[in-house]
Structure formats: structure tokens, C-alpha cells
Amino acid sequence: MTRGKVRPDPDEVRRQEVRARYGGIASRGGCCSPEGGSSGCCEGASGHSSCASSSVATQLGYTTTELSGLPDGANLGLGCGNPTAILALRPHQVVLDLGSGAGIDCFLASKKVGPKGHVIGVDTTPEMVLKARENARKGGYPNVEFRLGEIEHLPVADRTVDVVVSNCVINLVPDKGPVYREAFRVLRPGGHLAISDVVATRPISEKERADPSLWSSCSSGALEPREVKRLLKRAGFKDIEVNLKVPTNPPDNLRGQAAIGVVSADIRATRPSTEER
């Protein structure tokens, strides 16, 4: 008997597409390099690449002072906000970045938590982790480390982190529930979640969600705000906020998302303290 062809797992196809796309971006130097091509979240609605230069990055919430102090190659133009600005970081804190890329938000957090603080970046793409580690070496960031791993299965111990941040990454994961549960697990009681991500302002069609390229460009994996809140609440978080940012003229790197009703948002939540649970 002839066996039928095994159909690939859609979630695994998405994971492979994400790793391939962002591994290529890391190797080529990102959207802001001449070799950046048209990969990643810097791809516009028409399919052309738009460099996430300093002017675009400032539209996303970064200051010129922050950008000027970064190592070369740390800003690959892949974010949709500035998660380190959502919540005031303090000296001595431990910060975890989910999907840390080339390290931009880790390096900004490093300066805010100071030499007695610690920053951990976790990324699933080996090329990104290598690039981030080299950037940390070049820039001199002894309180920053980068670990290879999936954000659904964090290589971080329970209750060891004060703040979890992430920048336009969780939308890329097929199942967001485990990501939020893992974030809750690693946070200390009273710890905070501060995320920049994309959310859907209307239902996204199955056809759009099934397109691996559309998914991996930070578009069709977005959830509606009510679903984000539901998953965060189910994970155990309280004080949940999803604040949409709907620009009249979105930055070039987010025009592709806007075309299907996806916009950036600031997401905040808190792990209850021991006394409150």
C-alpha cells in the first residue's frame, strides 16, 4: 500500500521560516545595512525594504541619545517600539529580553540597571546570538549575556527576573500561551512585563495566517487585544494593559502590517506579589 505524503506541521513551517529570515538578517547586517535586502519587519506594504534608520527608530520611541550610544550593528531595524521606555528600569534589577536579536534593547537596559544589575537576552536564532555577543564584546557590556533558546521554553531559572521585555517577537511564535506562562514563571513576585508588539485591529484570515512569509514579517501572527489580555490573565498576570499606537502615517517598517489591520502596541502586566496570591 502506498502511503500518502506526510503534510508538514504548519507551526514548524512558521518556526523554520522565522529562523531562516532572521538568521539571514543577522548574517547580512540587518535592514539598515546595504546588504540588508527586504527581509524582516522592515519590509513595507509594497514589498520593498525600508531602512530603519535613526529617524525611523525615533518614531518608534527611541531617543537620539539612546541610539548614538549603541554598538554598530545593534540596531537591525526589526522592532515596533521601545520596550525599555514602557517601564522605568531601576539600578540593580535583572532584566530579561525575549527575542533579543542583535541586542539593542539589552544594551539600553544595561545602562539603566547599572553595573550591579544584569540583563539576559534569549533568542532562538544562532546567528543572532553570535551577533549580539560580538556587539556586547565590542561595546563593553559586562552585565549583559545572551542565551540561545526558545522563548516558549526559557533557559532561565524560576523567580530570578525583575522585568521581562520584548520587542516585536511574541507575534512570531505560533502558540503565545506558553510564552506568557514562561514569562510569569521567571519573574519574581511583583515583577513586571513590558512589551512592544503588534496586535490585530480586525480578524486575520486563515489564508493570511497560513502564509509563512507574511507571518515571519511580523504581520499575520498578531492577536487581537482581547486575546492578548486573556492569555496574560490565564498565565497569572494582573494589571494588564494593551495600549494601541495607531499612527496616521506609520513608519516605513510598519506599513506592511498596517495594510492588513495590524498596529504596534505597548503591553504591560504584573506578576502579583506573594501576599496578593
The grid coordinates listed for 15 are: 518556526
Please name the fold of domain 10-276: Rossmann fold (3.40.50)
CB 251 within 8 A of CB 196: no
Q: How many whole angstroms separate alpha carbon 225 and alpha carbon 265?
A: 9
CB 117 within 8 A of CB 93: yes
In 145-238, alpha helices (H): 176-186, 206-209, 212-216, 225-235
* Residue 203, C-beta contacts closer than 8 angstroms, at least 6 positions apart: 224
Average pLDDT per consecutive 10 residues, the chain (277 residues; last block may be shorter): 66 83 81 42 41 66 89 89 95 98 97 97 96 96 97 98 97 96 98 97 92 87 97 98 80 69 95 75
The grid coordinates listed for 92 are: 540593580
CB 109 within 8 A of CB 89: yes
CB 62 within 8 A of CB 32: no
The sign of the dihedral angle between the CA atoms of 172, 69, 147, 267 is negative
The helix (H) or strand (E) run that includes residue 147 is: strand 144-148
Dump strand ranges (E) for 27-149.
94-98, 118-123, 144-148
The domain spans of the chain are 10-276
Q: How many whole angstroms separate alpha carbon 179 and alpha carbon 191?
A: 16
Tell me, what's the pLDDT at 252? 63
Record the pTM: 0.87
- SS3 call for 92: coil
CB 172 within 8 A of CB 18: yes
* Residue 263, C-beta contacts closer than 8 angstroms, at least 6 positions apart: 198, 199, 201, 244, 245, 246, 247, 250, 254, 257
